[in-house]
Amino acid sequence: MRFQIFKNGRVVDKFVLQGAYLFGTDGIAIRRAQVTFKKGFVECEKPNLGTAGLALLWPIEGYGEVLLPTTCLPERTRPYNLNVEIARAKLMQIINKREDWSFFDGIEGLEGVSKQAQDLFVQAIQNITNPPLASKLADESLKKAILLSEKLAMKQSEMLFDTRGKSHGFGRGCLGCKIDPTQIHNPKYVKKHLELFGFATIPVNWAEVEPHRDEYDFSTLDACIEVLSNEKLAICAGPLLRFSKEYLPQWLLDEGAEFEKIRDTAYQFISKVIARYTGSVRAWRVICGLNAFNHFGFSFEQVLEMTRAANMAVKASSDRALKIIEVSNLWGEYYASVPNTIPPLVYVDMVVQSGINFDAFGVQMQFGKNQAGMHIRDIMQISSVLDYFMHVAKPLYITDVEVPSHNGLDSDKTGVVGAWDQQRQGQWLEQFYKIALSKPFVDTVTYSNLSDTGSSTIPNSGLLTDKLEEKKSFQTLKKLEEIIFMR
């Protein structure tokens, strides 16, 4: 398949592909596919002749760059007009979500935008033999469609958010934040946390807790537990296991052990931690992102067995602890290029069907970085992917929410994607929190960083500056917290 790209009605001869991947009719990224840009065309090669869609970071005038898909299309020799196909996919998603959300009638204030978006797209199709004109009409249609999709998603979320609030559906711990252990003895930091959040997550890194085999350093965790327990906060901790290199002890990496040995070693580590803090920690992020982070190259069956063993270890040490299985990168673009991984929703399904004893799923929502899984998605896409868990008979914990407050580089020199500032960070978080908490199956939303820190996944993503001064995002969440708990 080939796609021709236009900007302002002219063929683009320079275009940087970011976040690009192909996916099939099941929404799963296609492996061994190649996406390249040459002389105005995006060229897509895949290992089969089936229909496929293209997703990539796409600029929208007045909105910014968003990772958007086309619909699934058959192969053909004539190139597709990428501007037209992206507009088509967005309009189709709007139609589908209006049906899902029962927005059958016209929506006040949006009828004009909806008609304009559709009319512009119809004109684009009528002029498809004039690609430059069709692309300009499609671009205008997409601008209207993005605005419409945002407003539809927010209207639906505000209705359900208000209903949930009136029925007292929010628990005290529905707003949480991850603690920075280096700040745990800073009274101003702790006070700011207490001002906004009733739930705290203590990060756990196996590599730091057990730096040498059978030699444990609990000093950091002990300090966090002591301070937070004294403040009567609900406490979560984890992830106990994450199979990416920075979370694995060096001695374990050096041993080159077989799966059974790694599983038994992990079981022992979990048992040790749980036994020490049982009674203090209410919920455990037991295993994180094994669908996407699989340093040892576990097979499909071994991934499932490791997930089962980790939860068994928690249950054996504390029958009352709440066990969370985390899923990383819900759109699954990593699957196209990273071996020994599993599509995220396939992992969710196999965990549910396997009979593993656990209590909730956790998902991460980190956006604003030029890295797989962290490119910006629009609000309707986010709402749609969360809706998948409506049919999973388990609560959902959103364990890591993170977006930047301004542009910059992180320690890996990876730039922030998009034009971010404090105002945009605050607006995005208000929209996201209302979307997430409007879902009755979402128990808790946990922000990743209270204050700016060099160790954050997304640079400049704190709700406070590194000097603990409030950003607009902190004030935004404070107003939301007052709405939730002052009904």
Question: Which structural domains are found in the chain, ordered by start?
Answer: 2-160 (no CATH), 168-485 (3.20.20.80)
What is the C-alpha to C-alpha distance for residues 150 and 376, in angstroms, rounded to an integer? Answer: 14
- Look at residue 372 in the predicted model and tell me its pLDDT: 86
Q: Is residue 40 a contact partner of residue 118, using CB atoms and an 8 Å limit?
A: no
Helix (H, G, I), strand (E, B), or coil: what is residue 48? coil
Q: Is residue 270 a contact partner of residue 238, using CB atoms and an 8 Å limit?
A: no
What is the C-alpha to C-alpha distance for residues 77 and 233, in angstroms, rounded to an integer? Answer: 61
Q: Identify residue 88 by its one-letter amino acid code.
A: R
Give the dihedral sign, CA 381/387/389/391: negative
Strands 283-288, 234-238: pairing is parallel
- Look at residue 173 in the predicted model and tell me its pLDDT: 84
Question: How many Cβ atoms sit within 10 Å of the Cβ of residue 244?
Answer: 14
Polymer length in residues for the chain: 487
pLDDT tens by residue, the chain, 487 residues: 999 999 999 999 899 999 999 999 999 999 999 999 998 899 999 998 889 999 999 999 888 899 999 999 999 999 999 999 999 999 999 999 988 888 766 667 777 888 999 999 999 999 999 999 999 999 999 999 999 999 999 999 999 999 998 888 898 889 999 999 999 999 999 999 999 999 999 999 999 999 999 999 999 999 999 999 998 889 999 999 999 999 999 999 999 889 999 999 999 999 999 999 998 999 999 999 999 999 999 999 999 999 999 999 999 999 899 999 999 999 999 999 999 999 999 999 999 999 999 999 999 999 998 888 899 999 999 999 999 999 998 999 999 999 999 876 554 545 566 678 999 999 999 999 999 999 999 999 999 999 999 888 899 999 999 999 999 999 999 999 999 887 4
Q: Identify residue 46 by its one-letter amino acid code.
A: K
What is the C-alpha to C-alpha distance for residues 54 and 29, in angstroms, rounded to an integer? Answer: 9
Q: Identify residue 259 by its one-letter amino acid code.
A: F
Chain centre distance of CA 253: 28
DSSP annotation of 173:
G
298: its two tokens: 């576990």
User: What does 67-114 look like in DSSP terms, one character per residue?
Assistant: EEE---B---SSPEEHHHHHHHHHHHHHHHHHHHTT--S--TTTHHHH
State the Cα torsion 164-166-168-174 to the nearest 10°.
50
* Helix then strand then coil, % of the chain, to nearest 5: 40, 20, 40
Closest CA to 313 of 282, 279, 287, 288: 287
447: its two tokens: 């922000």
- Cα 375 to Cα 26, 64, 142, 371, 433: the distances in Å are 21, 12, 19, 7, 18
Residue 230 makes CB contacts below 8 A (sequence gap 6+) with: none
- Look at residue 76 in the predicted model and tell me its pLDDT: 93
Q: State pLDDT tens for residues 445-474.
A: 999 999 999 888 899 999 999 999 999 999
- Cα 208 to Cα 168, 185, 268, 424: the distances in Å are 40, 19, 16, 35
